[in-house]
């Protein structure tokens, strides 16, 4: 299998002629870049003088493209909720207002729908007074929405509203839309910068070290694991079953299990398993109950879909284009109860599904710090006239990634170190397949 080919070139709107109002001596140097050595031989562009692929470091430019006193910026939040959205909104607003002197900042309501005139959603004027306390509440003060919108209408709305900079906070679906918006803007020759801030609580965007909200999600999942463990130990043959986020990857489940070593089984989309048979999940669970008297099972929402999906089932998607998942949590609950009835073994099963509670909480300190940095670096990029990019953390450095290089999914390697540590921490069999 060949490695992916990445082009790390960052587009810009033109020559930067305006002296930056940022009071710092730490302006970006065009000669200083972050080496990307994952797939050196296959990377097409953006190489350093030695031919090694490299990425542009994030930070302020000595000269900027937009005149702050004439600039109108807008912020939009798309997709599902995630801890830290308000932190990013606040960071962008405060950075624009105080560091660059941009006073005209719009908050677009209800995602990209807010840029479609037919929905009649009024934007809000953002400023320090409005955003000063929003980090203490969850969700998004701008609200979100899912679903595809007409790209041409969005671009026309941006132009008609005289928006110079659009900050888009969202996941992989949002970033694909941002790609299309950026391409349309450039095709029309408009001077509008579009900058993305990656949001996926599942932590599965390609090339990105960590997405915001992930640390908070792990911390909240740990609380659920603790509760499930107490419930399981509090009854004879107790089983705590928790379903957590993770459509296509099990990063939350795996990391939460490592953070709280009370989990005995972790089921994720990347590692197939079977229910029946001598090496199947149900028999493995039965052995655990007989030997220890209780068990905690943590399952990602995208795990085991092959067990539920029938060959003739229609393929259904949600408004964002994601494959609709079957409910693996309810399915496992029923299968576990049926199995132990069949062998005439009493159990006490408690089913916990905390996903929406986790998505809606405020960011913890770690994510708050991260969100603040993402917002600051996003503003530096936009004011310099850079476009079609997102701010990312790679190898503990903040960099600018072109959108085309960041929409791929990142999954757990079943042969990798992370999954090995999960197996060691839980003690579950390396393969739960007959």
For helices 214-233 and 251-259, what crossing angle results, to 10°?
60
For residue 141, the number of C-alpha atoms closer than 13 Å in the C-beta half-sphere is: 22
Q: Helix, strand, or coil here: 107?
A: strand
Q: Give phi and psi for 351, each to the nearest 5.
A: -105, 125
Q: In sequence order, what are the beta bridge partners of 194?
A: 166
Instruction: Indicate if 202 belongs to the active site.
Output: yes
Burial 115-146 (b: 16+ CB within 10 A, else e): bbeeeebebbebbeebbeebbeebbbbbbbbb
The dihedral built from the CA positions of residue 186, 192, 195 and 200, taken in this order, carries a sign that is negative
Q: Is there a contact between 154 and 115 (Cβ–Cβ < 8 Å)?
A: yes
The catalytic residue among 87, 202, 204, 262 is: 202
Q: Pick from 94, 100, 130, 138: which is nearest to 21 by CA? A: 100
Q: How far is CA 184 from CA 78, 246, 248, 372, 390, in A?
A: 19, 32, 30, 30, 17
Buried b (16+ CB within 10 A) or exposed e, 405-430: bbbeebbbeeeeeebeebbebbebbe
Instruction: Report the catalytic residues.
Output: 202
């Amino acid at each position: 299998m060949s490695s992916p080919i990445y082009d790390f070139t960052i587009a810009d709107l033109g020559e930067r002629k305006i002296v930056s109002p940022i009071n710092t001596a730490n302006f970006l140097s065009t000669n200083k870049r972050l080496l990307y050595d994952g797939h050196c031989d296959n990377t097409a562009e953006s190489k350093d003088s030695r031919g090694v692929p490299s990425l542009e470091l994030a930070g302020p430019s000595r000269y900027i493209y937009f005149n702050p006193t004439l600039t109108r910026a807008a912020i939009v939040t798309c997709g599902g909720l995630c801890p830290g959205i308000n932190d990013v909104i606040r960071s962008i607003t405060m950075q624009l207002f105080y560091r660059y002197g941009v006073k005209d900042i719009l908050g677009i309501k209800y995602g990209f729908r807010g840029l479609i005139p037919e929905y009649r959603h009024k934007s809000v004027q953002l400023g320090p007074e409005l955003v000063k306390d929003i980090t203490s509440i969850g969700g998004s003060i701008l609200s979100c929405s899912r679903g595809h919108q007409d790209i041409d209408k969005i671009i026309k709305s941006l132009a008609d509203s005289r928006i110079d900079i659009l900050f888009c906070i969202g996941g992989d679906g949002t970033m694909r839309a941002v790609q299309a918006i950026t391409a349309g803007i450039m095709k029309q020759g408009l001077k509008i910068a579009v900058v993305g801030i990656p949001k996926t609580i599942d932590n599965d965007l390609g090339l990105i070290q960590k997405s915001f909200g992930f640390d908070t999600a792990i911390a909240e999942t740990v609380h659920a694991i603790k509760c499930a463990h107490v419930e399981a130990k509090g009854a004879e043959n107790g089983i705590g079953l928790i379903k957590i986020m993770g459509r296509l990857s099990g990063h939350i489940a795996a990391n939460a299990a490592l953070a709280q070593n009370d989990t005995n089984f972790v089921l994720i989309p990347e590692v197939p398993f079977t229910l029946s048979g001598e090496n199947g999940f149900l028999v493995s669970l039965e052995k655990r109950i007989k030997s220890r008297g209780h068990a905690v099972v943590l399952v990602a929402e995208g795990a085991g879909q092959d067990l539920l999906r029938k060959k003739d089932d229609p393929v259904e998607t949600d408004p964002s284009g994601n494959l609709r998942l079957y409910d693996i949590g309810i399915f496992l609950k029923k299968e576990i109860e049926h199995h132990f009835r069949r062998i005439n073994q009493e159990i006490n099963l408690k089913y916990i599904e905390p996903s929406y509670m986790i998505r809606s909480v405020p960011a913890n300190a770690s994510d708050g710090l991260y969100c603040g940095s993402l917002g600051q670096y996003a503003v530096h990029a936009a004011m310099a006239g850079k476009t079609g990019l997102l701010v990312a953390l790679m190898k503990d450095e903040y960099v600018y990634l072109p959108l085309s290089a960041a929409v791929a999914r990142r999954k757990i390697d079943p042969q990798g170190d992370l999954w090995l540590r999960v197996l060691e921490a839980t003690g579950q069999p390396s393969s739960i397949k007959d």
